[in-house]
Amino acid sequence: MASPAVDYARGNQQRFLNELKDLLRIPSISTLQEHKSDVQKAADFVATELRRIGLEHVETIPTKGHPLVYADWLHAPGKPTALCYAHYDVQPPDPLNEWISPPFDPTERNNNLYARGAVDDKGQLWMEIKAVEALTKGHNGTLPLNVKFIIEGEEEVGGESIAAYVRKEKAKLKADFALVCDTELFAHDLPTLCVGLRGLVYTEIEAVGAKTDLHSGMYGGAAPNPFFGLIEVISKLKDAKGKVLIPGFYKNVKAPSKDELKAWKRLPFNEGHYRKTEVGSSVLTGEPGYPVLYRTWARPTLEVHGMPGGFVAPGAKTVIPAKASAKVSMRLVPNQDPDDILKRYRNFVKKLTPKGIQTNIKVWSKGAACVVGTDNKYIKAATEALHDVFKKETVFIRSGGSIPIVTDFQDVLKIPSVMMGFGLPDDNLHAPNEKFHIPNFYRGIESICLFFEKLGQ
The footprint of a second copy on residues 420-439 (CB under 8 A) is 425, 428-433
Tell me which residue of 423, 424, 454 sits closest to 125, measured CA to CA: 423
Q: Does residue 317 interact with a second copy by CB under 8 A?
A: yes
277 or 335, CB closer to a second copy? 277
4 or 286, CB closer to a second copy? 286
**Residues between 115 and 154 that touch a second copy (CB under 8 A):** none
Q: Distance between the two ends of the chain, CA-based, in angstroms?
A: 13
81 or 402, CB closer to a second copy? 402
Q: Which stretch binds a second copy (CB under 8 A): 253-261, 285-293, 341-349, 389-397?
A: 285-293
Q: Does residue 54 interact with a second copy by CB under 8 A?
A: no
Tell me which residue of 385, 342, 403 sits closest to 158, measured CA to CA: 403
DSSP label at residue 326: E
Q: Are 191 and 400 in contact (CB under 8 A)?
A: no
* Least Å from the CB of residue 8 to a second copy: 34
Tell which one of 280, 288, 289, 373 touches a second copy (CB under 8 A). Answer: 280
Q: Which stretch binds a second copy (CB under 8 A): 12-20, 51-59, 246-254, 314-322?
A: 314-322
199-208 and 323-332 beta bridge pairing: antiparallel
Q: Does residue 272 interact with a second copy by CB under 8 A?
A: no
Compute CA distances 384 → 2, 124, 187, 252, whole Å: 14, 20, 18, 36
* Least Å from the CB of residue 118 to a second copy: 14
* Least Å from the CB of residue 392 to a second copy: 23
Q: Does residue 238 interact with a second copy by CB under 8 A?
A: yes
Helix (H, G, I), strand (E, B) or coil at 442: helix
Q: Does residue 307 interact with a second copy by CB under 8 A?
A: yes
Q: Does residue 14 interact with a second copy by CB under 8 A?
A: no
146 or 402, CB closer to a second copy? 402
Binding mask 386-425 for a second copy (x = CB under 8 A): -------------xxxx----------------------x
Q: Are 92 and 29 in contact (CB under 8 A)?
A: yes
Tell me which residue of 332, 327, 341, 301 sits closest to 402, measured CA to CA: 332
The CA distance from 436 to 119, in Å, is: 5
Q: What letter represents residue 66's amino acid?
A: H
* Least Å from the CB of residue 332 to a second copy: 11
The CA distance from 18 to 57, in Å, is: 26
* Least Å from the CB of residue 112 to a second copy: 15
| CB within 8 Å of 385: residues ≥ 6 apart | 447, 448, 450, 451, 453, 454
Tell which one of 3, 28, 91, 136 touches a second copy (CB under 8 A). Answer: 91
Is the sign of the CA dihedral 204, 207, 208, 214 positive or negative? negative
Q: What letter represents residue 457's amino acid?
A: Q
Binding residues for a second copy, how many (CB under 8 A)? 96
Q: Is 221 exposed, middle or buried (0-12, 13-18, 19+ CB in 10 A)?
A: exposed
278 or 393, CB closer to a second copy? 278
Tell which one of 112, 359, 365, 383 touches a second copy (CB under 8 A). Answer: 365
**Residues between 171 and 230 that touch a second copy (CB under 8 A):** 198, 200, 202, 209-225, 227-228
* Least Å from the CB of residue 29 to a second copy: 10
Tell me which residue of 304, 153, 401 sits closest to 421, measured CA to CA: 401
